[in-house]
Amino acid sequence: MVGYIIRRLIQALFVTLLVTMGIFLLLHVLPGGAARAILGPRANAAQIAQFNHDNGLDQALPLQYWAYLTHVIRGDFGFSYKLNQSVGSILAQDIPKTMLLVGLSYAVAIVVAVPLGIYQAVRRNKVDDYALTGATFIFYSMPVFWLGILLIGLFSFTLHLLPAEGPQGENVGDLLGQLSSIVLPVATLSLITIASFSRYMRSSTLENMVQDYVRTARAKGASNNRVLYVHVLRNALIPIITLIGLSVGFIFSGALITEALFNYPGLGLRFWNAALTNDFPVILGIIVVAAFGTVLGNLAADIMYAVADPRVRL
C-alpha cells in the first residue's frame, strides 16, 4: 500500500509540474505579452520595458519559469493591478466559499445518488426505474446555467420560496447564516451530479448482482438486504469512488457558472469578473488552484480506490 501511494504521489507531482508549465506558457501567449495585457493598450514602450524588468520577464524562459515555480510554491500567484491586491490574498478569501459550495453539492449528490442507483437496480425495468432513468437523462444533458435559470424561475419568481441570489458575506460563517440562499446554488450543482452518479451506481449494482459471490451468499441463506448492503454495496461503490475524483474539474467548471448566475462570492464569480476586466493574474491564479484541486482529487480517488479494492495495488 505504501509503495502504491508513493507511485501515485510521484505521478501527481509530475502532472502538477506539467500543469505549471502549461499555465506559465499561457502567460507568454497573451496578446501583446503579459505587460501589454496588464498595463493596457495605452502603456508606452518605456513602461512596458520597466514592467518586464521589475517582474523578471526580460530574462531567459527557463529562469522565468523557475522564478514562477518558486513563487507558486510559496503561495505567491502575482498581483492584481485591477483590484490593487495580491492574488494570494484574493484566493485565500474565495477558496473556502467555493469549497463550501462544492462540498455541500458533493455531499448531497452522494447521499441521494447512491441509494437512488441501488433502488433503480433493484427495480430494474419497472415503471419507476424508467421514470427515474428519464429524469436523470434530462438533468444529465441539461446545461448548468439553464438548470439554474429554471430553478430561479420556479422557486424564486413563481413559488416565492427561495431567494434568487446566493448568500453574501466575507467568510464561510456569514454564508452558513443564510441557508435559504444557498439552497438553489447547491441544488443547481448537485442535481446534474446526482444524474451522473446514480447512472453509474445503477450499472455497477446490476453488474455486481450477477457475480458468483452473490449467488454463493444467497445459496448460504443470506437475505436479500444482507446480500445487497453487505456484499454488493462495497463493490458497487468502487466506480463511484473513481468518479468522485475525476469529476472535480467538472464540478468546478459548473461552480464557475453557478456562482456567476447566483452572484455567489467564490472563485467562480471572481474568475468571471476577472475575465470581464482582463485581470490576467487573477485568471491564471484561479486556473492554478483549479488544476491543483483536480490533481489532488484524482490522487485521493486513486488512494480510496486502492483501499476499497486491494487488487488495484498490484
pLDDT: which is higher, 182 or 170: 182
Residue 199 has pLDDT above 80, yes or no: yes
Q: Please, are residues 39 and 278 in contact by the beta-carbon 8 Å criterion? A: no
Considering the domain boundaries, does residue 189 fall inside one? Answer: yes
Q: Of 152-156, 191-195, 302-306, give the lowest mean pLDDT range.
A: 302-306
Instruction: Give the residue from 28, 58, 87 where a domain finishes.
Output: 87
Q: Based on the domain organization, do 217 and 101 belong to the same domain? A: yes
Per-residue model confidence (pLDDT) at position 308? 66
The pLDDT tens digits for 62-114 are 887 888 888 888 878 878 877 888 888 888 888 888 888 888 888 898 899 88
To the nearest whole percent, how much of the chain has pLDDT over 70? 93
Residue 31 has pLDDT above 70, yes or no: no
Range 196-207 average pLDDT? 86
Q: Based on the domain organization, do 109 and 245 belong to the same domain? A: yes
Average pLDDT of every residue of the chain: 82
Per-residue model confidence (pLDDT) at position 195? 87
Residue whose grid cell is 441539461:
142
Considering the domain boundaries, does residue 314 fall inside one? Answer: no
pLDDT: which is higher, 221 or 263: 263
Per-residue model confidence (pLDDT) at position 179? 85
Alpha-carbon distance 228 to 209, whole Å?
Answer: 8
Per-residue model confidence (pLDDT) at position 152? 92
Domain count of the chain?
A: 2
- Which residues on neighbouring strands pair with residue 79, listed in sequence order? 86
Tell me the three state secondary structure of residue 86: strand
Distance of CA 106 to the CA centre of its chain: 9
Q: Which residues contact 54 (CB under 8 A, 6 or more apart)?
A: none
Range 47-64 average pLDDT? 77
Considering the domain boundaries, does residue 160 fall inside one? Answer: yes
Per-residue model confidence (pLDDT) at position 210? 78
The pLDDT tens digits for 265-314 are 888 888 888 888 878 788 888 888 888 888 887 777 777 777 766 665 55
The pLDDT tens digits for 226-269 are 878 777 887 888 777 777 777 776 677 777 888 888 988 888 88
Quick one: which H or E segment has residue 79?
Answer: strand 79-80
Q: Domain containing 164: what range?
A: 94-309
Q: Based on the domain organization, do 36 and 53 belong to the same domain? A: yes
- How many angstroms separate the Cα of 163 from the Cα of each of 158, 159, 173, 179, 237? 11, 11, 18, 10, 35
Q: Based on the domain organization, do 102 and 242 belong to the same domain? A: yes
Per-residue model confidence (pLDDT) at position 33? 67
Q: Based on the domain organization, do 134 and 52 belong to the same domain? A: no
